[in-house]
Structure 1
Amino acid sequence: MGYKGSSIYDKNEFFDAFLHRRNRRDSPNNAMEKPAFLNMMGKVHNQRVLDLGCGDGSFGLDLCRAGCRIYEGVEGSANMLKVAQENLKTARARLHHTMVEDFRMEPESYDLITSRMVLHYIEEVSVVFQSVYQGLKPGGRFVFSVQHPLLTSTTAPSDQPGGRTNWVVDDYFHRGERKEHWIDHEVIKYHRPVEVYVQELLQAGFQITGLKEGCPSPDAYKTKEEYERRMRIPLFLILGGKKR
């Protein structure tokens, strides 16, 4: 059995282990994905922002502190939502407890829509892209990150003692469901080649504004060895689009 979408985060043991990993200062998300994401996202001052898959709300708190006018977060996990409510005790933040693919947004409501490390859990990403396009104001921006398709292509276990030092890339052009053993549980992700993410954005109507892969900085790591290990393969794909 594999856990789909955000359901795995409502398993308390997994949830606690995930947050411990995720919130480490030198975790790949903080050291590689977040700097690239922020660079592509740019300024949010006085903007209405929707965050698809807001997690524990820590990113939403960053956006509120950066001066966004309204922040809305969508989260399917009850555990995540509870923590997000604690982190986002501000009048400018609103949270919605629903699955990302089920959330219905009002047309032309948002200046910026973000999603960090969520869309590889969703089977029909084209539906989400179309919804996002409709929800953005003219000229509005969409920035999202996913696990890099080089990693989602294979079903090889992601956990290795001491940190992974080899990666298998296989079945890259075969799209669809992948079951991955992660933190002692089996989770379901959906693999798409890079070109599919790009084509789906274009077909939804977006103008592509950027692509990043989270190239690491040596300043983010305590040791040269860890930095060099992280330079071997991309872990993230970050894409930006603009509503025409």
Structure 2
Amino acid sequence: MKQNIYDHPEFFHQYQKLRQAPNNYNNLLEQPALKSLLPNLSNFKILDIGCGMGEFAYFCIENNAQHVTAIDVSKNMLEIAQREHSHPNIDYYLQAIEDYDAAPDSFDCITSSLSLHYIKDFNAVIGKIARMLRPGSIFVFSVEHPIVTARKTMEDNWIYDDSGTMSHYAIDNYHDEGLRERTWFVDGVVKYHRSISTIINTLIAHDLTIEEMLEPLPNSQAIEKLPSLEKEHRRPSFLLIRARK
């Protein structure tokens, strides 16, 4: 099993509290951006990589998808998904994308929300995704922005002046790709940094055409609900890409 920090008891407890808050970065920024990149899902067969607690898989069914195959490495996540977002047309599997496989041309759309920055061999996974997509089909995904993952400390990289005012965001080690370890609720959370050019060129190498990229900005209503989102105007948290086979 690949790294599965989401089944760490303390991490999962804290993560649930974060996601259960009515206003968070996922609900107000990342998910609206991801959904804006989706095609019309009517009668689509979808693979959702890193499906988490199943909200997005259920959203796809609500938007007329024919079937969703939803995979995740976290037993905790899937227990919630199967309890709160079960549906006859959603199949949940406890599996990492590195170990999952399906026949070529199996899916009309493949999605991944904030899971691919946990993948060590990005090239191999993108190659697998490209094989599983039908010709003309869509791959939509989000990752933590490479500006965020670049610095090797991966802690709070905002720099403050002597008066305590936020001065700027520090970026370093951008082209030194690879493993990053950080403290997020608990020590030892492992992610992988790669540059924007590596992400784009890997998609191109597997014959995926880039159709749109987003570095989403919050609207005024979102900032009113969660004032910390104002920082997104100075440093983006997420990178989203829509590509077509």
TM-score w.r.t. the length of structure 2 is 0.91
> How do residues 28-177 of structure 1 correspond to structure 2 at under 5 angstroms?
28-158=25-155, 165=166, 167-177=169-179
> For residues 5 and 117 of structure 1, what CA distance do their matches in structure 2 show?
16
> For residues 198 and 80 of structure 1, what CA distance do their matches in structure 2 show?
30
Amino acid in the other structure paired with 2:77: M
How many residues in Structure 1 have an aligned counterpart in Structure 2?
237
1:208 matched residue in structure 2: 210
Change over 3 Å in CA distance of 1:234–1:9 after alignment to 2:
same
Change over 3 Å in CA distance of 1:225–1:50 after alignment to 2:
closer
Instruction: Give the C-alpha shift of residue 186 in structure 1.
Output: 1.9
Amino acid in the other structure paired with 1:69: Q
Instruction: Give the C-alpha shift of residue 55 in structure 1.
Output: 0.5
- 151-160 vs 72-81, greater mean Cα deviation: 151-160
Within the candidate set 237, 242, 245, 1:235 is matched to 237
> How do residues 159-198 of structure 1 correspond to structure 2 at under 5 angstroms?
165=166, 167-198=169-200
> For residues 77 and 95 of structure 1, what CA distance do their matches in structure 2 show?
11
Q: Is the 8 A contact 1:54 1:115 kept in 2?
A: yes
Q: Is the 8 A contact 1:54 1:75 kept in 2?
A: yes
Q: Is the 8 A contact 1:44 1:68 kept in 2?
A: yes
Q: Secondary structure at the match of 2:143?
A: strand
Could you list the per-position Cα deviations for residues 6-65 of structure 1 after superposition, in whole angstroms to 9, with x for gaps in the alignment?
511111221121122124332111111111111111321211110011001111111111
Could you list the per-position Cα deviations for residues 50-105 of structure 1 after superposition, in whole angstroms to 9, with x for gaps in the alignment?
00110011111111111110011011111111111112321100011111111111
Q: What is the aligned-residue identity percentage?
A: 30
Gaps of 5+ in 2: 158-164
Amino acid in the other structure paired with 2:190: I
Within the candidate set 11, 15, 26, 1:14 is matched to 11
TM-score w.r.t. the length of structure 1 is 0.91
Could you list the per-position Cα deviations for residues 89-135 of structure 1 after superposition, in whole angstroms to 9, with x for gaps in the alignment?
21100011111111111111100000000000011011111111111
Q: Is the 8 A contact 1:45 1:66 kept in 2?
A: yes
